[in-house]
Structure 1
Amino acid sequence: MTFAVIKTGGKQYKVAANDVIKIEKLDAQAGDVVTFDQVLMVGDTIGAPLVEGALVAAELVETKKSKTVIVFKKRRRHNSRRRNGHRQLLSTVRITEILTGGAKPTTKAAAKTAATESVTDAAPAKKTTKKAEAAEATEAKAAPKKASKKTEGEADTAAEKPAKKAPAKKAAPKADQE
């Protein structure tokens, strides 16, 4: 049982344990265990059309869009051109097991990876909450001071600012002086 040929998304893939492949989008979350029951071949056993009792288990790593494919259509001598882009949604899966004889997939490998991910995700979350709480506390302390300055500052704005000296007017020459 070194390899298997599975069918998913209208395509066929030759897979082995610990292979990482990109397939058409699956409706699952990252870290979920996904099973493929349309197994066409396992090792030397060829199905007619499917291998009875064969199953391939995989873990969904991520789902994202592929690179942009440009679709360019042109009709010659008609001055007609159209340019479009397309990004297909792809799921990246890691093959965990190839099973035969109606065996069920084990969730040990998926559970271990999920447990390690949850521990690493939980630790930074606590740090960010402590930082957030500290920031909120400092803002709460600073907020009343700012508010009091604004309320007092609005009333005492003229008193706090030094008065601008108006430019002294020069005495106009008197025309009546004789």
Structure 2
Amino acid sequence: MFAVLKTGGKQYKVQAGDVLRVELIAAAPGEKIQFNEILMVGGEKPVLGAPLVKGAAVQAEVIDEIKADKVITFWKRRRKHSSQRTRGHRQKLTLVRVTDILATGAEKSGVKEAIGTQAARVAAHNTEPKAEKAEAAPKKAAAPKKAPAKKAEAAATKE
């Protein structure tokens, strides 16, 4: 039995025992997670989702958090100005091992849903109670401006 799951904007065809490198997931190593966005479940009777298969899930165990290979970009902005710059980037990934494919009953499994770190930050931000704004203190009246005394004194001494 195999399944096609979607996570991190990508699609993966998986079977039990497969090891995947997926976008960073908010889960600790050793934790069991569940992917709920299943596009297809294959086997003797394939089931296609429209767009997702209802009740299907893929359960996996988090092995480790790793970094991908370094990607180096080189920018040359303008000619005749020696304006060059290199930038590097290493994407953070989560290494997971697929343990089970559920065609039905995903809601009753009780396993934590796999969500990306960005989605976890947004969810945490939306669930925090908003602090009440303190009443603004009335503004103090501005002091009257004083005339420049030095110029007046200098004019008086010249006469």
- Residues 1:90 and 2:102 are matched in the alignment: no
State how far apart, in whole Å, the 2-side matches of 1:99 and 1:106 are. 13
Q: Deviations over 1:57-98 (max 9, x none)?
A: 000000021221101112352532110110111100000000
Aligned-partner SS, 1:60: strand
The SS at the match of 1:27 is coil
Structure 2 counterpart of 1:58, from 53, 57, 60:
60
Unaligned runs of at least 5 residues, structure 1: 108-178
- Check whether the contact 1:99–1:105 (CA below 8 A) recurs between aligned residues: no
Deviation at 1:23, TM superposition (A): 0.4
> Which is higher, the Rg of structure 1 or of structure 2?
1
Identify unmatched segments of 5+ residues in structure 2. Answer: 112-159
The aligned counterpart of 2:5 is 6
TM superposition score normalised by structure 1: 0.56
Q: Provide the alpha-carbon RMSD of the alignment.
A: 1.7
Query: Aligned partners of 2:110, 2:98: CA distance in 1, in Å?
Result: 12
- Cα distance in 2 for partners of 1:3, 1:106 equals 22
Residue 74 (structure 2) pairs with residue 75 (structure 1):
no
SS of equivalent to 2:54:
coil
More helix by proportion, 1 or 2? 1
* Structure 1 ranges of 4+ moved more than 2 A: 103-107
Provide the rounded CA distance (Å) in 1 between the counterparts of 2:109 and 2:97. Answer: 14
Q: How many residues align?
A: 106
Match of 1:102 among 102, 105, 111: 105
User: Secondary structure of 1:98's match?
Assistant: strand
